[in-house]
């Protein structure tokens, strides 16, 4: 039986045994159970069998790479938070990963302690209040159930997309800089660049459609419209 740990089970998909063992060590210290798989096909099977709370997914896997694993999960409506680990320090690769539904990424070499913090960050539900409802126009956010509707349609968001939308809608009209959003939603400063925020905002707008409440304040950042329109 795979131990789930007090914080739940994290699936680590990494073909480098030394890296996998180091990541698993730090995650276990943080209270997670850990299951390690070495390739993409095994990872997809493990997700179906074990239902992890999060996936740490190497991009450069043999055979089925991490990008394709994430793509297949999202195509199957699996919203398990995904944190990419990549040796590719190229913005195009990072943006592609975020656009297909990854929640965060780290580049090699990385601090295993930082990775564990980022896993906690994508899983955190801080600020959620039972019964809290946020409304802007036809967009409704049920914070307790983590569900979003645009008009009559339910919208499927990643964990990070949801947290970003809720953070903006909790302070309608307030303009947040990209650096402030990185700190509040992702839990770290802008050391990796603010393009991450822009990509997630673009994805939110695409999913919410024309009724989406997020507006751009040129030269500053982003804000949510104030209340129902």
pTM listed for this prediction:
0.63
Q: Is 47 helix (H, G, I), strand (E, B) or coil?
A: helix
Structural domain includes residue 3: no
Q: Give the whole-angstrom CA distance, residue 131 versus residue 40.
A: 38
- How many domains are there within the chain? 2
pLDDT (0 to 100) of residue 2: 63
What digits encode the pLDDT tens for the residues 160-177? 899 999 999 988 889 999
What domain range includes position 198? Answer: 133-224
Identify the domain boundary among 70, 90, 123: 123
Whether 113 and 205 share a structural domain: no
Question: Does 58 map to a domain?
Answer: yes
160 and 101 share one domain: no
- Asked whether residue 98 falls in the same domain as residue 45, the answer is yes
Which residue, 123, 154, 184, sits at the end of a domain?
123
pLDDT in the model for residue 69: 95
Q: Beta partners for 134?
A: 141
111 and 145 part of one domain:
no
Does residue 35 form part of some domain? yes
Rounded Cα distance between 191 and 90, Å, is: 15
Same domain (yes/no): 143, 110: no
pLDDT value of position 120 = 85
Pair type for strands 104-107 and 82-86: parallel
Residues 69 and 140 in one domain: no
On whether residue 28 sits in a domain, the answer given is yes
Q: Which pLDDT belongs to residue 129?
A: 41
For residues 148 and 84, membership in a common domain is answered with no
Q: What is the CATH number of the domain that holds 146?
A: 1.10.10.10
Q: What is the pLDDT along the chain (229 residues), one digit of tens a residue?
A: 566 667 789 999 999 999 999 999 999 988 899 999 999 999 999 999 999 999 999 998 989 999 999 999 999 989 899 999 988 766 556 666 778 888 888 888 888 888 888 898 888 743 334 456 888 888 999 887 788 999 889 999 988 899 999 999 988 889 999 988 988 888 766 555 668 899 999 999 999 998 899 999 998 999 998 755 4
- Cα separation of 136 and 108, whole Å? 40
Quick one: 115 and 158 in the same domain? Answer: no
Tell me which of 90, 123, 156 is where a domain ends.
Answer: 123
Residue 113 lies in a domain: yes
- 24 domain-assigned: yes
Are residue 19 and residue 94 in the same domain, yes or no? yes
The H-or-E segment that residue 147 falls in is: strand 147-150
* CATH code where residue 61 lies: 3.40.50.2300
H helices of the chain, in order, are 17-29, 40-50, 66-75, 91-99, 112-123, 159-169, 178-181, 195-208
Whether 101 and 18 share a structural domain: yes
In a domain, 71, yes or no: yes
Do residue 28 and residue 115 come from a single domain?
yes
Domain identity same for 95 and 192: no
The answer to the question of residue 2 being in a domain is: no
């Amino acid at each position: 039986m795979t131990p789930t740990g007090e914080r739940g089970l994290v699936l680590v998909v990494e073909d480098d045994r030394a890296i996998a063992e180091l990541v698993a060590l730090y995650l276990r210290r943080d209270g997670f159970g850990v299951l390690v798989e070495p390739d993409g096909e095994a990872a997809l099977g493990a997700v179906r069998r074990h239902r992890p709370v999060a996936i740490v997914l190497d991009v450069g896997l043999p055979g089925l790479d991490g990008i394709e694993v994430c793509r297949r999960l999202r195509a199957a409506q699996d919203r398990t938070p995904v944190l990419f680990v990549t040796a590719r320090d190229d913005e195009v690769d990072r943006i592609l990963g975020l656009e297909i539904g990854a929640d965060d990424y780290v580049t090699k070499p990385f601090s295993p302690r930082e990775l564990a913090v980022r896993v906690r960050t994508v899983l955190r539900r801080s600020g959620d209040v039972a019964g809290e409802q946020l409304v802007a126009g036809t967009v409704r956010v049920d914070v307790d159930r983590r569900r979003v509707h645009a008009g009559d349609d339910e919208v499927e968001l990643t964990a990070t997309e949801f947290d970003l939308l809720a953070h903006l809608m909790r302070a309608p009209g307030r303009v947040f800089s990209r650096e402030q959003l990185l700190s509040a939603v992702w839990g770290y400063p802008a050391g990796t660049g603010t393009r991450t925020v822009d990509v997630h905002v673009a994805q939110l707008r695409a999913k919410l459609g024309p009724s989406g409440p997020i507006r751009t304040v040129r030269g500053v950042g982003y804000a949510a419209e104030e209340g129902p329109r």
